[in-house]
């Protein structure tokens, strides 16, 4: 068997992992590098590179729909099956259908065509615990909490080995309490895991306080009661964060305003995740009609909470002109690094931040804390190795509070380990 980390061990995002036997090859994630101000291109983001990479690949499995895990899908040859969670597929299609119809003057991270939408429609889907057989490899997905709805880790069985690929995960989301019981019941229940391939995003921010989504909701409710007109800069597909602010708006008796795309996404969440938890039922959202005087009068009287994003600057500017500055606030609920000078600066986010006089930062990571990473490593207790990915500091895995024998099994270089070849590209 061969495990190849094509990229991801010394960077966050752009993840591509290959697991192969003599007869079968699969990829886990095929992500676009996260753009930054120093390097906005991705050498893999072209048809020739992806066709070469997938020449022998029998199937591709996506842990979730974030672009740094998914956004090279459109270069994959049509005869290669691609798999994603059923709800994740709906959310991705919603986004790409909107982008495919967007005016050329609008700013988006990628050019989207109807062919991309057609390819997405052809994706195969899976449910948690469903065993999928590809050649002599068996893949079983298990739900994890992340800042994307319908995210998964994968248990892969091949050549007599068991490999756990965590994808992106955390414990401090609304459904994060299921992480450890899932691993105990399905992954390590009287069976050995040989290799653990795990994300390590938070290793670059070990001292960052990780709030729970419940804490985010409680603090948001206080801010909504203090300020009448609340704009929230957050991800449009982060189901937990949107639930936090939606529930907070109900507590503060504020209208919850959304644009057309956000309304469609929340409808998907309500019809899927909402079946299992009232927390994800977005029943009373209001579509904001720009220039509608009657609606404006109503929401000015009641107050509102409105999720916004960088592509809606003109709408925000227009609405701000009609609101009293002293009663208006921006809650910044994405990574703080996007505001700082340097390669990660997001100019749209920075411009929105500077449009407001009253501002608060209220955010928590979509990724596992160092404590959770250590707990998972100790629990899984892989017999052969821990392979870090999705991290700028994979070397810091040895600083986690894990057993010494596990520290000795951390793999950051290519090696032959018995009958398993591990190749890691830097």
Q: C-alpha 254: how far from its chain's center?
A: 28
Spatial separation of the C-alpha atoms in residues 306 and 410, rounded to whole Å: 44
Task: Report the pLDDT value the prediction gives residue 106, as an integer from 0 to 100.
Answer: 42
- Closest listed residue to residue 101, CA positions, set 111, 86, 88: 111
In this predicted model, what pLDDT tens digit does every residue of 303-315 receive, in sequence order?
Answer: 999 999 887 788 8
- The backbone region for 82, taken as left when phi is positive above 0, alpha when psi lies in -120 to 50, beta otherwise, is beta
Predicted pLDDT of residue 55: 96
33 close to 15: Cβ distance less than 8 angstroms? no
**What's the pLDDT band for 209 if we cut at 50, 70, 90?**
confident
Do the beta carbons of residue 232 and residue 224 sit within 8 Å?
no
Residue 277 and residue 211: Cα distance in Å, rounded? 21
For 153-180, give one letter per residue: b (16+ CB within 10 A) or e.
Answer: bbbbbbbebbbbbbbbbbbbbbbbeebe
pLDDT in tens, 159-202: 999 999 999 999 999 999 999 999 999 999 989 999 999 999 99
- Report whether pLDDT(221) > 60: yes
**What pTM value is reported for the model?**
0.95
182: closest CA among 142, 212, 140? 142
CA distance readout (Å), 369 to 85, 240, 329, 363: 24, 17, 29, 14
pLDDT 10s digits, 367-426: 999 999 999 999 999 999 999 999 998 989 999 999 999 999 999 999 999 999 999 998
pLDDT tens-digit map of 90-135: 999 999 998 888 755 444 445 788 999 999 999 999 999 999 999 9
Rounded-to-integer distance, Cα 29 and Cα 180, Å? 23
Sheet holding 420-424, edge to edge: 124-126, 82-85, 59-61, 25-30, 16-20, 2-7, 420-424, 415-417
pLDDT at residue 101 in the model: 81
Return the pLDDT at 35.
79
pLDDT tens for 123-154 read: 999 999 999 999 999 999 999 999 999 999 99
The pLDDT > 70 percentage for the chain reads 97
Structure-token match 């050329």, residue found: 104
Residue 278 main-chain phi, psi, to 5 deg: -65, -25
């Amino acid at each position: 068997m061969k495990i190849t980390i094509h990229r991801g061990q010394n960077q966050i995002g752009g993840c591509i992992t290959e697991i192969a036997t003599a007869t079968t090859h699969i990829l886990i994630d095929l992500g676009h590098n996260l753009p930054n101000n120093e390097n906005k291109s991705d050498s893999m983001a072209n048809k020739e590179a992806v066709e070469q990479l997938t020449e022998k690949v029998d199937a591709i499995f996506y842990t979730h729909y974030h672009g740094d895990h998914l956004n090279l899908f459109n270069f994959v040859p049509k005869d290669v099956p691609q798999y994603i969670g059923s709800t994740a597929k709906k959310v991705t299609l919603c986004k790409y259908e909107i982008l495919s119809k967007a005016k050329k003057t609008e700013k988006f991270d990628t050019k989207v065509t109807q062919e991309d939408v057609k390819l997405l429609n052809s994706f195969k889907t899976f449910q948690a615990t469903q065993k999928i057989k590809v050649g002599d490899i068996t893949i079983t997905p298990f739900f994890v909490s992340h800042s994307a709805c319908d995210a998964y880790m994968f248990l892969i069985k091949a050549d007599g080995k068991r490999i756990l690929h965590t994808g992106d995960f955390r414990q401090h989301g609304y459904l994060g309490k299921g992480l450890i019981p899932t691993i105990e019941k399905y992954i390590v229940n009287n069976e050995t895991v040989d290799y653990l391939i795990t994300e390590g995003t938070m290793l670059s921010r070990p001292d960052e306080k990780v709030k729970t989504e419940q804490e985010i909701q409680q603090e948001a409710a206080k801010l909504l009661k203090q300020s009448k007109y609340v704009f929230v800069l957050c991800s449009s597909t982060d189901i937990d964060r949107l639930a936090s602010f939606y529930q907070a708006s109900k507590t503060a008796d504020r209208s919850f305003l959304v644009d057309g795309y956000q309304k469609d996404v929340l409808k998907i969440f309500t019809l899927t995740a909402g079946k299992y938890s009232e927390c994800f039922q977005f029943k009373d959202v209001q579509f904001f009609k720009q220039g509608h005087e009657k609606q404006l009068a109503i929401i000015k009287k009641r107050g509102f909470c409105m999720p916004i994003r960088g592509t809606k600057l003109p709408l925000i500017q227009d609405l701000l002109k009609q609101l009293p500055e002293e009663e208006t606030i921006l809650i910044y609920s994405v990574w703080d690094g996007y505001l700082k000078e340097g390669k990660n600066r997001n100019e749209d986010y920075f411009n929105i931040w500077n449009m407001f006089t009253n501002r608060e930062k209220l955010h928590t990571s979509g990724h596992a804390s160092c404590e959770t990473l250590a707990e998972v490593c100790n629990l899984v207790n892989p017999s052969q190795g821990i392979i870090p990915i999705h991290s700028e500091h994979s070397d810091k895995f040895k600083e986690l509070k894990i057993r010494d024998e596990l520290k000795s099994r951390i793999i950051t270089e290519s090696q032959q380990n018995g009958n398993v070849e591990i190749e890691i590209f830097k």
